[in-house]
Structure 1
Amino acid sequence: MAVSDWQRIRTLSNVKYYFNYSITVIGLLSNLVAIIVIGRGKCGLSRCITHYLVAMAAADLLAVFCNVAIFYLYAVIFRYTHTIACTLQYVMAYVSLDCSVWLTVAFTFDRFVAICCQDFKTRYCTVRIARVAIATVYVVSFIRNIPYYFAFYSYYPTMPIGCMEKPEYFTHPGWIAFAWINNILTPLLPFFVIVLLNILTVRSIVVASRARRKLRAHASGEKQEDPEMESRKKSIILLFCVSGSFILLWLTDVITFIYTHIANIHYVPDWSHPLTMATEAGNMLKILSSCTNSFIYVVTQSKVRDELKNAISCSANYELN
């Protein structure tokens, strides 16, 4: 292998290490703070939105913990643990990522209904429906990832230590079908559903805004501020920031997945291959998506910022006393 290839591999390894270390610290702290601050229900958001945001922060917290804190930074520990513990860690990594993705879909659909389907809004955008949707995402994500528990076996034939995929996981038609279904459900289907919902939402907003401006101008004879449109602005900004962040950060992973399957590429020659670089970049970006929502809440919602400042002030005063 050429010296330049070794340098690229070493650079990629260093980037992954420092990235994962940073994501662990930032992701765990930011999502925990988001759960505490938003969960108090004093951020000026409806109870329905509050339920979704807290559930998304909890799923993101679990995703960072299972996919980064344990899986990457402390993988050496699980390499020598019991096979059952190692396997469960893999299962929870898949479950947590599914929950994070599909709760984003559920939130996007809820906001789509609230903005575009006024007749259906009063029946769907309720706390009860939000709780049912959140519980359904968690339960279904767990159930559909149970087969992963049976996809691993011990490193050593005589000792239940560590875990790795069974050879038939890559060759048996049943496992291949299972892998395809899971890859379609996460991330392909959520990605395109969110893109479609955002397109329909933008279209509805443009049409509604034009109609309301013409109606108000005709009624009053002059342009005036529209209180209803202003009240919906924060919800729209939050929706577009959350879903837009998801689309951008998952785009690389979706493109590499589609390319490798169309080109029938099941492995890459070595770690210096450009496709490996793209795959690793996609993995890092999709994990990063589990940390961005907390910052989006702070940037887009003034009352979230106020509650965060109050929490920091109270904490500082408590330490001084």
Structure 2
Amino acid sequence: MAIVILCRRNCGLSKCITRHLISMAAADLMALIFEVILYEIKYASLPYSLFNYTSVCSVNLALLFFSIDCSVWFTVAFTFDCWTAAISCQSLRTKYCTEKMAQMVITIVCFLSVLENIPIYFVYEPREILDGQPWSCYVKSSFHTAPMWIAFLRLETIVCPFAPFVLIILHTSLTIRHIVRAKRVRSALRGTNKPTCHTVPEIDNRRKSIILLLAISGNFILLWMVLLICYLFVHFTGTQFLEANYNAPFTIAEQSGYMLRCLSARTNTFIYSVSQGKFREGLNNMVKRPLSIFISLK
């Protein structure tokens, strides 16, 4: 529903920001399908289904990490777009803040995420053999000892979440800093510190974009914080990820971090609905229209 509403372009946002939000909603939907439905729920509901073959499970896990990387880096691209739109450099804003450039950035992020997550398919081995068939997925023991896999894990942790975390904080801080400075300059030029009631569409659209930026950035930082601390703990102490002992404090923290990471992709839609009045209006129309049609048929 969020994708449909955003595609209608009636939310009062610029074309490039709308394009970024559509890509983020699509990536969040993919993460919901591959992580929650095809990975978590299938173990409880369909333990011996087609999706539990080792090859299918490995593909699903590769697509799961692909969707998470896309969701994270689309968020980075969105924060950079908001920062570019807020700064006074007209040439950079004109060059970058376009729908064509947004589409190019989205395509590049998808392509690089595919290349990055191809090795994920080869990380797993069968957990058990039933009737000659490999079932379920289990991390290879060599993943924690082989230099190639150790290097891959370090690269993965840099690409997601370290670099996105730093970039999102940087872009958000720079955007807020510029907005505060610009507001002070405008107040000084007007010769008063009192707010004005007059607004123009460009300023109103920018205000909506800034509200979205703060909400989405804050959501990402808070919900990824636990997993980021776990990554730091692993690198500085030598603790291994994905331990089987679910009573260990680190494993509890790690699994909590995965749960919060999963929640991070699900809350963006609620952020749209809370912060954007026109999005709520479009959502109400989508809900009411089928009901009105059903009532008229009766």
Please confirm whether the aligned pair reaches a TM-score higher than 0.5, indicating the same fold.
Answer: yes
2:121 pairs with 1:149: yes
* Residue 216 (structure 1) shift: 2.0
Q: 1:145 to 1:117 in 2, by over 3 A?
A: farther
Instruction: Provide closer, same or farther for how the CA distance between residues 161 and 111 of structure 1 changes in structure 2, counting only shifts above 3 A.
Output: same
SS in 2 for 1:145: helix
Q: 1:200 aligns with which of 166, 171, 174?
A: 174
- 1:71 aligns to what SS in structure 2? helix
Mapping of residues 231-242 of structure 1, within 5 Å: 231-242=205-216
Task: Check if 1:251 corresponds to 2:219.
Answer: no
CA RMSD of aligned residues (A): 2.1
Measured in 2, the distance between the counterparts of 1:269 and 1:98 equals 25
Please tell me whether residue 305 in structure 1 is matched to residue 280 in structure 2: yes
CA distance in 2, matches of 1:60, 1:80: 21
3-state SS of paired residue (2:133): coil
1:295 maps to 2:266 = no
Partner of 1:126: 98
Percent identity for Structure 1 against Structure 2: 38
**CA displacement, residues 93-150 of structure 1 (integer Å, 9 cap, x when unaligned):** 1101101111000111111100124321111000100101111111111111001122
State whether structure 2 residue 139 is matched by structure 1 residue 168.
no
Alignment CA distance shift 1:231-1:59 (3 Å)? closer
Alignment partner, residue 101 of structure 1 = 72
Tell me the residue number matched to 2:254: 279
Q: Which amino acid aligns with 1:42?
A: N
Q: Secondary structure at the match of 2:9?
A: coil
Alignment match of 1:191 (pick from 165, 178, 181): 165
User: How far is the alpha carbon of 1:178 from its aligned partner?
Assistant: 0.4
Q: Is the 8 A contact 1:108 1:197 kept in 2?
A: yes
| Partner SS state of residue 13, structure 2 | coil
Deviations 1:181-228 (A, max 9, x none): 01110111101110111111111111111011111227xx98634635
CA distance in 2, matches of 1:85, 1:150: 12
Is the Cα contact below 8 Å between 2:12 and 2:205 reproduced in 1? no
Residue aligning to 1:136: 108
Question: Is the CA contact (8 Å cut-off) linking 2:216 and 2:268 kept in structure 1?
Answer: yes
Structure 2 SS opposite 1:73: helix
Amino acid of the residue matched to residue 176 of structure 1? I
Report 1:33-112 matches (<5 A): 33-75=1-43, 76-77=47-48, 81-112=52-83
In structure 2, relative to structure 1, the CA distance for the partners of 1:97 and 1:37 (3 Å cut) is: same
Give the distance between the partners of 1:154 and 1:64, measured in 2 at CA.
24
CA distance in 2 between counterparts of 1:84 and 1:56 reads 28
Between the two proteins, the alignment pairs up a number of residues equal to 287
Task: Tell me by how many angstroms 1:165 deviates.
Answer: 2.3
Q: Deviations over 1:18-42 (max 9, x none)?
A: xxxxxxxxxxxxxxx1111111112
Q: Which moved more, 1:163-172 or 1:196-205?
A: 163-172
- Partner AA of 1:169 in structure 2: F
C-alpha contact 1:113 1:125 (8 A) present in aligned 2: yes
Query: Paired residue for 1:14?
Result: none
Conserved in 1, the CA contact under 8 Å of 2:11 and 2:278? yes
State the one-letter code of the partner of 1:179. Answer: L
**TM superposition score normalised by structure 2:** 0.89
CA distances 1:153-193 after superposition (whole Å, capped 9, x unpaired)? 33457534333222222211011100110111011110111
| Aligned counterparts of 1:80 and 1:59: Cα–Cα separation in 2 | 21
- Large movers: runs of 4+ above 6 Å: none
For structure 2, the 5+ residue unaligned runs are none
The answer on whether the counterparts of 1:217 and 1:223 sit within 8 Å (CA) in structure 2 is no
Give a deviation string over 1:66-106, Cα, whole Å, max 9, x none.
Answer: 11111111132468743321210111111011011110001
